[in-house]
Structure 1
C-alpha cells in the first residue's frame, strides 16, 4: 500500500494536521489537552490507514480475479450482497465475466460448426472432382471413340454445374448465417410468387409428365422478400418434383387470414419416413429416399430463408402417399 504515492501524501498531510493541532493546543491550552488531541489524531490516522489498507486489499483481490478471467477462467463468482462502490464493481465484473463466458461458448460453437461445414463441403466436392479427374484422364486417350468422348464431356459438364450450384448455395447460406443479407419487407402478391416459382420447373415436370394443380386466393399477400422467398419455394417444389414419380401430381395452395398467409406444397410421391422427418432441414442430410445426386442442402436453405423472415415451415409425410410442406408468414411477430 505504501508504494502508492497518493497514500504517502495522505499520511504526510494527516501528520501535518496532527502536529499543527498539537502545537495549537499546547499554546492555547494545557499539555494534557495537546496530548489528547495528538492521541486522537494518531488514532484517526490509524483508522484511516487500516480502512485504506482494507480497500486496497479488496482491489488487489479484484485484480487477481481479472487476471484469472483474462487467462480463461470464467467460473468465478465475485458477487456479494453488500452496498457500496466495491460491491457494484464486483457485480459489474461478474456481468462481464458471464458475457465473456457466453461469447467464448459461442465462438467454440461457431468453430465446431465451421469445422463440420468444411468437412461436409470437402466431402460433397470430393466425389465430383474424383469423377472428373478420371474422365479427363480417359479423354486424353487418342484411341477413345467420339461417342464416349461426347459422353464424358457431357458428364463433366453436369458435374461442373452441380458444383457451381453447391458453391452458390453454400455462399447464400453463409450470408444468411452471418446476417449480412437484409431481407426486404415488401408486399408480396402470392399468385405472382407462385408463377415465378413454377417457371424454372415446368420442363422437368413435363419430362416426368407430372400435373401441377394451383389454387388459392387471388388477393393473398404477405410482407417479405419476393426474390429470396421464391428461392426457398423453388427448392421445396424441386424436392417434390424429384421425389414424385412419372405421371404424379403436385398441388400448390395458398390462403390468407387475419393471422398469417399460408402457402402449402403437396405431392403424391415417395414420401418421407418418420425417422428422416426431424432431420430433413439439416444441411447435407440425405434421407432414405434421397436420390444419388441429392446434396441435402436445398431444404436447409429454404428453412433458413423462411425462418429469417420470421416465417414458419412445417412438413408432414407418409411413405408411399406423399409429403406436405406448409409455409406460414405471420402478420405480426410477437
Structure 2
C-alpha cells in the first residue's frame, strides 16, 4: 500500500479499536452507575422506613410504580425542586476517578503498542522477503521479484529488482564480450599465421633461389596483413564509439557510382559489370566516405560470386520512413546455413571465394548501423544473393 493508504488503514484500525474500547467502557460504567443508583435509593428508603415504619408499604408501592414506568417529568422531580443535585446523593471519591483515569490511559497505551507491533510485523515480513530474494540472487537465481502490494517498500523493491536485472545484464554482456574476445583473438592469430608462414617460406626459398615470384608472394601477403590491420583498427574504433562520422546530405546514386568506380580494376579482371540505373536525386544523412566503403564491400562480395560476364545490379527507392538500396548478383546465392552468420566477424561461408578474411560484411554492417541504418541478406527466387540496406529518416 502507498503511504497515504497505509495511514488511512492505520487510522481506521485505531478508530475501530477505540470504538470497541469506548463501548466496553460505557457498558461497564452504565452497570457501575446502576448499582450505585440502586444503593443510593435503597439507603434513602431505609432511612424513611426507620423514621416512619408505617410508610414502608407506601415506599414499596412507589418503587414498584417507578420500576414499571412513571409519567413524572424531570422538571417535576421533587428532589430537584428542593435544590438537590445528582452529586449530592452520590459523589465518587478521588480513588474512583484515579482508577478510571489509569484504566483509560493504560488502554490507550496498550492500543498504541498493539498498533505499532502490527505495523512493525508487516515491515519485518517485507524485509525478510527482500532479504530472501537477495540471498537467492547471490546463489545465481535471477527470477522475477513478485509485487506484493503498494507500500513504503514498493519503491525499494522496484529499485532492487532493476539493479539486479542490470547486474545480470552487465554480467551476461561481460561474459559475451569475453567469449567474443577469445574468438576474435583466435581468428586474428589464425589470419596472421597464414601470411606469416607464407612469407617465411618465400624468404627461405629466396635464400636458395632468388626470384621475383617470391617477392610478389611476400608483397601480396604483407598487403593482406595491412588490410587485416586496418580492418581491425576500424572495428575497434566502432566498438569504442570513437569513429568520427560526418553526417551530411549525400545522394544515393553518387555513392553507388563512386563505390563502383573504386572497384573498376577488380571488376575488369573478374569480367563483371555493375548496373546502376539513375532514379533521380535521393538524399540520405550519412558520411560519404564511410558509406562508400560499406557499399564497396558489398559490391565486392557480389562480384566474387558472379560468374564471368555476369552483372551486379543496384536499385534504390525512398519513402517517408527510409531510403532503401538493393544490391544483388546473378550467382548461385548464399548457402542456407550461411545466411544467419553472414555479418559475423571472420566468418567464411561455404561458397566464399578468394583469400578474404571474412570481415568485409561485418564492417559494412557496423558502418551502416552506426548511421541509423540496417542491412539484411537473402536469396532471390531465381537464384542470386541480395542485400537490402535501409537508412531511416528519423
TM-score range normalised by the length of the shorter chain = 0.7 to 0.9
Q: Which residue of 2 aligns with 1:89?
A: 156
* Contact 1:79-1:90 within 8 A present in 2 as well: no
- Work out whether 1:101 is the aligned partner of 2:165: no
Q: CA deviation at 1:255?
A: 3.9
- Work out whether 1:289 is the aligned partner of 2:356: no
Instruction: Give the alignment's TM-score, normalised by structure 2.
Output: 0.64
Which structure is larger by alpha-carbon Rg, 1 or 2? Answer: 2
Secondary structure of residue in 2 paired with 1:238: helix
Secondary structure of residue in 2 paired with 1:146: coil
Provide the aligned length of Structure 1 versus Structure 2: 302
Q: Which residue of 1 aligns with 2:187?
A: 120
Q: Which residue of 2 aligns with 1:54?
A: 121
Q: Which residue of 2 aligns with 1:300?
A: 362
Aligned CA-pair RMSD:
3.5
TM-aligned CA distance change 1:305 to 1:113, over 3 Å? same
Q: Which residue of 2 aligns with 1:313?
A: 375
Pairing 1:185-200 to 2, within 5 Å after superposition: 185-200=247-262
* Contact 1:254-1:261 within 8 A present in 2 as well: yes
Secondary structure of residue in 2 paired with 1:85: coil
Q: CA deviation at 1:70?
A: 7.4
- Work out whether 1:262 is the aligned partner of 2:324: yes
Q: Which residue of 1 aligns with 2:233?
A: 171
Q: Deviation per CA, 1:102-124, whole angstroms, max 9, x where unpaired?
A: 33222222322222222222222
Q: Deviation per CA, 1:225-283, whole angstroms, max 9, x where unpaired?
A: 22221111010111223333444333333344555433333333454333433432222
Q: Deviation per CA, 1:62-106, whole angstroms, max 9, x where unpaired?
A: 673486377364436554433321233223322322232233222
Q: Counterparts of 1:161 and 1:319 in 2: how far apart (Å)?
A: 38
Q: Which residue of 2 aligns with 1:236?
A: 298
Q: Counterparts of 1:233 and 1:281 in 2: how far apart (Å)?
A: 14
TM-aligned CA distance change 1:83 to 1:272, over 3 Å? closer
Q: Deviation per CA, 1:209-239, whole angstroms, max 9, x where unpaired?
A: 4333332124222222222211110101112
- Work out whether 1:145 is the aligned partner of 2:209: yes
Could you tell me which runs of 5 or more consecutive residues in structure 2 were left unpaired when the two chains were aligned: 1-93
* Contact 1:240-1:267 within 8 A present in 2 as well: yes
Pick the structure with more helix per residue. 2
TM-aligned CA distance change 1:84 to 1:249, over 3 Å? closer
* Contact 1:315-1:326 within 8 A present in 2 as well: yes
